[in-house]
Amino acid sequence: MKYLKTLSLTIFIILNSSCTEAKTKKETNKTTQTESKTTKHSDFIQQKITDNLYILKNPNYNTNVGVYIGEKEILLVDPMTGNNNQEQLLNAIKQLSEKPVTYVINTHHHMDHSGANTFFKDLGATIISQENTKYTNATYDVTFKDTYTLNLGNETIELYHTVAHTFDDVLVHFKSNNVVFMGDTYMTNSFPHFYYGGGSKGHLSIIDKALALGDATTAIVPAHGNLNITKNELTTYRESSVKWMSRIKQLHSEGKNSDAIADDAQIQQLSMVFNDGKDVSKQNIQRTIDKTIAVDFVDTIELNANALKNYEGIYQYENGQVDEIILQNGTLILRSEGNYMYEIVPILETKFHIKGQFPNKYLTFDATNTQFVFFNGKERLTAKRK
């Protein structure tokens, strides 16, 4: 009996202490994040991050969709879960709330993130994107250059632009909910994807920005793979990215091609780390190495600002399409509204490599800089300065 009384008292003390500790944490934290619990509703995987912020994912489509339920409206982040699947996504959202979808934010323009923009725009939503989206085929309404703030009652959502995965990448920071959406600048089931925009420098820059937002408990939402992770996991991913880029640079400088680099033991080990511990085909590894080389390690020549400025202008192809070349922060940019935006770098005085493109693509100018031939990997197209 004495033993039972002692045991009961001990259990009471432990339970009381646990409740007190939980109450203290709740009172001291700025925002209470609920225990992440993954459930399945209407053929969608659902994870509750906080009391009014959820992630939805179609099991057959890998994009993580953010659903913020405000006082009067719903805001979505990257609401694309497969072609012809928008109604099912809307039904899954309605199971969380019947409030109207008022805003859509894209972390970037790729169709697996922006493909449902038109659907939600037709329902009355305003699409918010970074201004370089106009050089893509994505639907948008409101654009911004570097930063944008949206106040929705109890939540302030801050958007930050960095050229990394693409030229229109956006970090989405829910300040009160203490959550950051990173788009394709971070995925838990794929290689680092920094070929279409800022290269390795932009890749590390946007990760550092994400790590600087919020606090140590901030939840990080990748574009694909796990629904959310911690900052410690993001830091580990950054370290692996540095090892990946450094190893490719070292082996490439030794004269090894992508086929040989793909056989390297450290490269193969890192490939499994990036791809959630799964084996990756050599072809996939080699293709990723080729793109990494194409954006970061192509041999270039130095041209001063005045020389680069000579290539600025508006150029028109025979089919009527118009390209613009501008000098921006010391870099030449080739862009076409509704089509594409690339950084071009000189490999000869009149020949420019399009960064990140593999098989390699080039612009070759004539001696007078009044026209160029664009080799797009398949055909040669001539454009003349207007």
Domains of the chain: 29-229 (3.60.15.10), 243-296 (no CATH), 305-385 (2.40.128)
CB 356 within 8 A of CB 199: yes
User: How many residues does this entry show for the chain?
Assistant: 386
Q: Does 358 have pLDDT greater than 90?
A: no
Look up residue 224 and give its two tokens. Answer: 């694909």
What percent of the chain shows pLDDT beyond 70? 89
Q: Give the tokens for residue 180.
A: 């950051």
Query: What is the residue whose two structure tokens read 């030794």?
Result: 254
Q: Residue 8: is its pLDDT beyond 80?
A: no
Query: Does the pLDDT value for residue 10 go beyond 90?
Result: no
CA dihedral 234, 236, 240, 246 (to 10 degrees): 100
The token pair that represents 13 in the structure block: 């003390």
Query: Mean pLDDT in the chain?
Result: 90
What integer pLDDT is reported at residue 360 of this predicted model?
86
Residues 6+ positions from 131 with CB-CB distance below 8 Å = 143, 144, 145, 168
Can you tell me the mean pLDDT for 72-77?
97
Confidence category of residue 173, pLDDT binned at 50, 70, 90: very high
The predicted pLDDT at position 195 comes to 86
At 38, which helix (H) or strand (E)?
Answer: strand 37-41
pLDDT (tens digit per residue) in 132-152: 999 999 999 999 999 999 999
| pTM for the full predicted model | 0.88
Mean pLDDT of 339-360: 94
Q: What mean pLDDT comes out for the span 299-316?
A: 96
Pairing of strands 380-385, 371-375: antiparallel
Enter the DSSP assignment of 63: B
* Range list of H helices, the chain: 2-28, 86-96, 111-114, 117-122, 199-212, 231-253, 258-262, 265-274, 282-296, 305-309
CB–CB of 203/194 below 8 Å?
A: yes
Q: Tell me how far apart the terminal alpha carbons of the chain are, to the nearest angstrom.
A: 98
How many other CB atoms are there within 10 angstroms of residue 212's CB atom? 9
| 234: amino acid identity, one letter | L
**What does each C-alpha distance from 283 to 251, 315, 355, 367 come to in angstroms?**
18, 37, 21, 39
Please give the pLDDT value at position 80.
87
Q: Out of 3-17, 154-168, 242-256, which region has the weakest mean confidence (pLDDT)?
A: 3-17
What is the C-alpha separation between 179 and 205, in angstroms, rounded? 19
DSSP E strands, 280-377: 313-317, 322-328, 331-336, 340-348, 351-354, 362-365, 371-375
- What's residue 18's pLDDT? 39
Instruction: Determine contact, residues 159/173, Cβ cutoff 8 Å.
Output: yes
Give the pLDDT confidence score for residue 62 in this predicted structure: 87
Model confidence over 181-236: pLDDT tens digits? 999 999 999 999 998 889 999 999 999 999 999 999 999 999 999 999 999 999 99
- CA atoms of 152 and 4, how far apart (whole Å): 55
Rounded Cα distance, 322 and 145, in Å:
23
> pLDDT per residue over 14-69, tens digit each?
334 433 333 333 333 344 454 456 666 557 899 999 999 999 999 888 899 999 99
Read off the tokens for 137: 């085929």
Q: Distance between CA atoms of 93 and 116, rounded to whole angstroms?
A: 14
Considering only CA atoms, which of 16, 47, 49 is closest in space to residue 31? 49
